Chain A
Amino acid sequence: MNTGKVGEWQFRYELHKGTLLAAALFVVMFVIYVSNHPAGFTPNVVQTASNKATLLAFVAMAQCLVVITAGIDLSVGMVLVLCNCLASWLVVGTPLQTGFGIVAVLAAGLACGTLNGLIIIFGRLQPIVTTIATSAIFFGLALLLRPTPGGSVNETLADVFTSKMFGVLPTSLIVLAATILLVWIPFSRSVYGRAAYAAGSSEYAAYMSGMPLKRAKLLAYALAGLLSAMGGLYLTFFSYTGEAAFASGNAYTLYSIAAVVLGGVSLAGGKGSAVGAVFGALAFRTIGDLLFVFDLDPLWQPLFQGIVLMLAIGIGSIGLARVRNRLEWFQ
């Protein structure tokens, strides 16, 4: 091999460029944020920021898994809402009961994701309409569970998951990192993970190479349900209640798509990582926070968020201007 270490790093950089860009974007915005924050860079400020971004980070990870296979999951927000309502019934009582409750909530999320996957893969329906339909079903179930906001959660546990570990590190951030380590890394390095990327990149070639496409896609959708359920649990830990909130479910779905794009995940499939999606979510949340430290009218937030999003996405499509055969634009 005539390629030395430098070449190797070059390839690594190319591969993770999207993730690095998202991380850089987040770091820059977060530095601006804390340096203008009246309290400065303290564990409390970090904790608040981390807690605010955790929910979106989970659904963005969920969305990322599906988007890699060139699909889309418009039900992530409603799975989150459903799991929030479920948790407000189940995650209560003795430690044992609470433990069972958590397992049940996660299993419910997994089941929702599996249902999406089964319909899309074996029913051969389009992901976009399938998940619109199932998201209505999930919201309907959530409404039946919680016609009005209410319920409770094991508050001791909730406080543990939303406070700091060793007085410095926010627990929510640690849980997020653990999820990446225990769900994302094994998935992305397994044969199924590779098949998921291959399905998004060129399904035809993947099929011709005899890859396990169906199982890989099913796994992606199922894990997306599981990760959305994690988000639902966290929502319950923050709010102490369950609420079938239509608007916030829809907002999480839409923001998850924005977050994965910010995180360098290609909506065309085959490219990106959940780590990037998490940074995308963190960056997206920080855009909102920036307004408060600059004392801008909250009325400006949607407009400001939209403009920053447009700029960030614009950077990603510069490559298209250099195409030599114009037909490639449409591939």
Chain B
Amino acid sequence: MSEPLLRMEGISKRYGGVIALNEADIAIRPGAIHAVLGENGAGKSTLIKIMAGVTAPDDGRMLLDGKAVSFSSPAMANAAGIVSVFQELSLIPDLSVADNIVISNPPTRFGMIDRGAQRRIAEEALSRAGAVDIHPSSLVKDLPLSRRQMVEIAKALARSPRLMILDEATSALSKSDVDKVFSVLKRLRSEGLALVYISHRMHEIAELADDCTVFRNGRSIESYKAGTKTDQQVVELMIGREYKSVFPAKPGVEISRPPVLSCSGLCWGDRLTDITFDARPGEIVGVGGLDGQGQRELLLALFGVLRDVRGEVRIDGRSVRLTSPKEAKSQATSIALIPEDRKTEGLMLPMTVRENLSIAALGSVSRKGVIDRGAEAACVGELLKLLAIKAANIDMPVSSLSGGNQQKVVIAKWLMNRPRIILLNDPTRGIDVGTKQEIYQLLRKLADGGAAIIFYSTDYDELIGCCDRVLVMYDGTIASMLEGDNINERALIGSALNIAAKQVERGPTL
């Protein structure tokens, strides 16, 4: 076994009160592919960021070739030979592929960029990445996502790395591209490169990895040689958090009630494929799976944001065509979407609590276009009480509330419309446990009041604790539907990774 190229020991990192990494260790060998495994939020991306110089650890040390190093910027990590392939964020859309490939260190002549040399470097890097079909002069923004991902890989290769980090680098690629990337990665491995590979696709890891390290709750749980553990054992390693009973009891749904919302064969481009499900009043339907499997798009499609959605959506048995959020929230359909990023999508931060709360339901508190401030204040006051929002005054800017209270405002503003279908996009991300608990109670209360709730969450505990049914999505479609006692962590992770679905279903419940 060769000496590690990079060793990280006792790395800790906290963001505010949240511990992202806790005494994590990992050792990366040259000439090998090291897979990093773990659930959403297990600390993988923080680990990668520290490796790539994007963030600095609070504690612990990094040894490169046995010497202690620390990186204060991505540029420093690059100089040391550590290059990471970001998912898609590091490409500049209005520049050409060749411009992007050489961006951090373009060849110059007389102070100007040497376009001939740039072209040669780009062509070479593209061919090393196995992407000769991409024209170096095409603009990045004109390329489909899969091609951009290949450009990212070429860009990383052009910097002649010693250690290359691939974070979900194949998530947007087609099968044939994945095969190409794999053969490139295997060649790089044989050339002596060290590769760190993060993927949620277990079969990819089985095909590629030499070493594996499993992360859970910010800790590195175990490192082992690839092929020495079964998928089941790996899933066991990934599970294992404490359970706390913060969830309200599930009353059970009356099967006899007709569904208020039913979708059949919903498709959108190549991001959503054949989505079919229904939701009854009083039911909380969870949407699970790994990040970015089309959950967000599904909610946006139901809220009328996406164009050219095919398939049928029925509300109360009537077929509807949703073409804008304005239409979706109207009396006839009565849908609300509680967005994921409250700062940009949910709130107008500088505006007041009152304005934010009533903005989606101004029609109900105004007459002939004039807002009745008295009626508005009454409605707002009612909502503040219902959700126990701590605001000293309804005319203070919403930005001065705490994160948890801001999130409650986002939810409350839609309740003013009394929606019958409530879509939630990961509403508890980044808020404290107490507020989470209140939100769970509220969701159940709304369901009991006759609303159908579609609840996307990246937190498995929430899905298990709150939902009557869970749709697990994988690659833009519903991979499985879990119900009752079948909603458990083992089944959720198993179907999220799309492995051996039958085997998982037969497994014991937690």
Contacts and interface: CB of A to CB of B under 8 A. Distances in A.
Contact of B308 (A202, A208, A324): A324
A326 to B, nearest CB: 5
A191 B108 contact: yes
Interface in A182-207: 186, 189-191, 194, 197-198, 200-202, 204-206
Contacts of A209: 74, 90, 92, 103-104
A318 interface: no
Interface stretch (A11-19, A98-106, A154-162, A309-317): A11-19
22 contacts: A2-B133, A11-B96, A12-B137, A14-B142, A15-B96, A189-B112, A189-B113, A190-B108, A190-B112, A191-B106, A191-B108, A194-B113, A197-B92, A197-B95, A198-B92, A202-B92, A205-B89, A205-B91, A206-B92, A210-B75, A325-B300, A326-B324
Contacts of A190: 108, 111-113
Contacts of A14: 139, 142
A198 B305 contact: no
Interface of B: 54, 73-75, 78, 86, 89-96, 99, 103-104, 106, 108, 111-113, 115, 123, 132-133, 135, 137-139, 142, 268-269, 300, 305-308, 324
Interface residues of A, number: 33
A210 B102 CA distance: 12
Interface of A: 1-3, 7-8, 11-12, 14-15, 186, 189-191, 194, 197-198, 200-202, 204-206, 208-211, 270-271, 323-327
Nearest to A192: B111
Contact of B93 (A3, A8, A202, A208): A202
Given A210-B73, A210-B104, A200 B94 contact: yes
A324 B306 contact: yes
B90 A208 contact: yes
Contacts of B103: 194, 198, 209, 211
A244 B113 CA distance: 41
B90 A205 contact: yes
A270 B94 CA distance: 6
A11 B132 CA distance: 16
Given A198-B95, A210-B78, A323 B307 contact: yes
A15 to B, nearest CB: 7
A182 to B, nearest CB: 13
Contacts of A210: 73-75, 78, 104
B71 to A, nearest CB: 12
Nearest to B133: A2
B271 to A, nearest CB: 9
A211 to B, nearest CB: 7
B238 to A, nearest CB: 29
B93 A270 contact: yes
A200 B99 CA distance: 15
Contacts of B106: 191, 194
B306 A326 contact: yes
Given A191-B108, A208-B89, 20 more contacts: A1-B123, A8-B137, A11-B96, A14-B139, A14-B142, A186-B112, A189-B112, A201-B92, A201-B95, A202-B91, A202-B92, A205-B90, A205-B91, A209-B103, A270-B92, A271-B94, A323-B307, A326-B305, A326-B306, A326-B307
A189 B113 CA distance: 6
